[in-house]
Amino acid sequence: MSFREHAGVVGAEQLQRSLERGRLAHAYLVVGPRGAGKEALARTLAKAVNCREAAADSCDRCESCRRVELGTHPDVHWIRPESKTRRIQIEQMREFTRTVSLAAQYGGVKVGVVVDADCMTEEAANAFLKTLEEPPGQTVILLLTAQSQRLLPTIVSRCVRVRLGERDGAVSPHRAKVGELMREFRSEGAYRVVGPYRLLRELTGWLGQVREQVERDVAAQMPHWEYEELDAKTRERMREQLEARVEGEYRSARDEVWEQMVAWFGDVLLWANGAERDLLAMPEFAEVTKAVADRIGAEQAEANLDALEQVREAWQRNVPESLALEVGLLKLVV
Ligand SMILES: [Zn+2]
């Protein structure tokens, strides 16, 4: 495939524009649901940066393009979870970072693709972080994931986010809500007085609404569970099923809310580290992002991301939601 065939796909166009302007970032986080075409896009970019015929695209005919397609290009490296454990292990990652740091054999741009990046073990993620912190020259790294909220915020914040499978102009309600909350941080005074508590209250309220919506949606899809003619045992089993489904769907919705929080706080870190506007995940909030980044600096921006990560980890350990939120959000400094 070439970029021509990805035409109209928001994330693909973003990548091609950067390539045309000669402004590719060192690392991209390509986020999209299964089947959105993340691997195809990674392959197209790997071809386009090395193609000998086409400019800022793949010709799909030259030797370089064909080798990328066949998976035999010496400068294009893929890493994916082991089939047994479904994890990307530290040994795999060490080999990957080693090969990615070698000079390009064909003299073009090296490309490293991490498929299902959320499956990295903690050790693998930490090993990979070193490569992101000191990226090798003439290399583009692509992390592909359907669940970016499972990645370490320190990894997410060092990548430019590319969203696949989203219609142009469609903004998730969670993203709009997070933006609305963040706008209040423009001035320091406003934050000092009511900031952390207000953020806690607003987010708690928002998550409550998200849960109610999930409950309504799930109940609408399972209309028969209350039928009187069912025996008590069956009713009980169906009630349990319903609850489990609500809980599962609510948790993934909550992960999405958190993903937006991490994206915005990641933008603050990007800005504090000197990134430009077009590298931000949420450019529509650039004004407040800049104000906060200038005020708190990179070190605090990183500490904020750590605090958000702790909330997510606490939720995974089934710490009560409100407790985890309170402990985490009250650590934020903006
Ligand atoms: Zn070519």
CA 24 to chain centroid: 18
The 10 Å Cβ neighbour count of residue 36 is 19
0.85 exceeded by pTM: no
Residue ending a domain, among 136, 170, 204, is 170
Q: How far is the CA of 140 from the centre of ligand 1 (A)?
A: 18
Q: Are residues 295 and 153 in the same domain?
A: no
CATH number of the domain that residue 43 is part of: 3.40.50.300
67 CA → ligand 1 middle, Å = 9
Query: In the listed set 135, 170, 205, which residue is the last one of a domain according to the structure?
Result: 170
Exposure pattern of 271-302 as b/e (b: 16+ CB <10 Å)? bbeebeeebbbbeebbebbbbbbebbebebbb
> Do 186 and 163 fall into the same domain?
no
How long a stretch of residues is the chain? 334
Are residues 143 and 31 part of one domain? yes
148/219 same-domain check: no
* CA atoms 277, 185, 253, 216: torsion sign: negative
Give me 40's structure tokens. Answer: 């195809």
Q: Based on the fold, state whether residues 55 and 147 are members of the same structural domain.
A: yes
Chosen domain end from 114, 148, 170: 170
3-state SS of 116-185 is CHHHECHHHHHHHHHHHHCCCCCEEEEEEECCHHHCCHHHHCCCEEEECCCCCCCCCHHHHHHHHHHHHH
CA of 20 to the centre of ligand 1 (A): 15
Amino acid at position 332, single letter: L
179 in the same domain as 166: no
Let me know if residue 160 belongs to a domain: yes
pLDDT of residue 312: 87
Contacts of residue 58, defined as CB under 8 A and 6 or more positions apart, other chains included, come to: 1, 2, 3, 44, 47, 48, 51, 65, 68
Residue-by-residue pLDDT tens, the chain, 334 positions:
888 777 777 788 889 989 998 889 999 999 987 667 888 899 999 999 999 999 889 998 999 999 998 889 999 999 998 877 889 999 999 999 999 999 888 889 999 999 999 999 999 999 999 999 988 889 999 999 988 878 888 899 899 989 886 544 556 778 888 888 888 777 666 555 557 788 899 899 999 999 998 888 887 766 555 566 778 888 888 888 888 888 888 887 888 888 889 889 999 998 998 877 777 888 889 999 999 999 999 999 999 999 998 998 899 888 999 999 999 998 988 8
Is residue 26 located within the same domain as residue 161? Answer: yes
Q: State the chain's maximal CA–CA distance in angstroms.
A: 73
Structure tokens at 24: 């590719």
Distance (Å, whole) CA 91 – CA 213: 43
pLDDT at 135: 86
| Residue whose pair of structure tokens reads 């015929």 in the numeric block | 53
Q: Are residues 12 and 139 in the same domain?
A: yes
Q: Are residues 206 and 309 in the same domain?
A: yes
53 and 66 within one domain:
yes
Domain assignment present for residue 334? The answer is no
Whether the CB-CB separation of 162 and 140 falls below 8 Å is answered with no
65 CA to centre of ligand 1 in angstroms = 4
For residue 61, the enclosing domain spans: 3-170
In a domain, 18, yes or no: yes
Q: How far is the CA of 304 from the centre of ligand 1 (A)?
A: 44
d(CA 169, CA 317): 36
Domain count for the chain, please give it: 2
Q: Are residues 24 and 162 both part of a single domain?
A: yes
Question: How much distance in Å is there from the Cα of 7 to the middle of ligand 1?
Answer: 18
- Looking at the structure, do residues 158 and 255 belong to the same domain, yes or no? no
Ligand 1 centre and the CA of 203: distance in Å?
Answer: 49
Q: How far is the CA of 30 from the centre of ligand 1 (A)?
A: 23
Helix axes 90-100, 122-133, angle to 10 degrees: 20
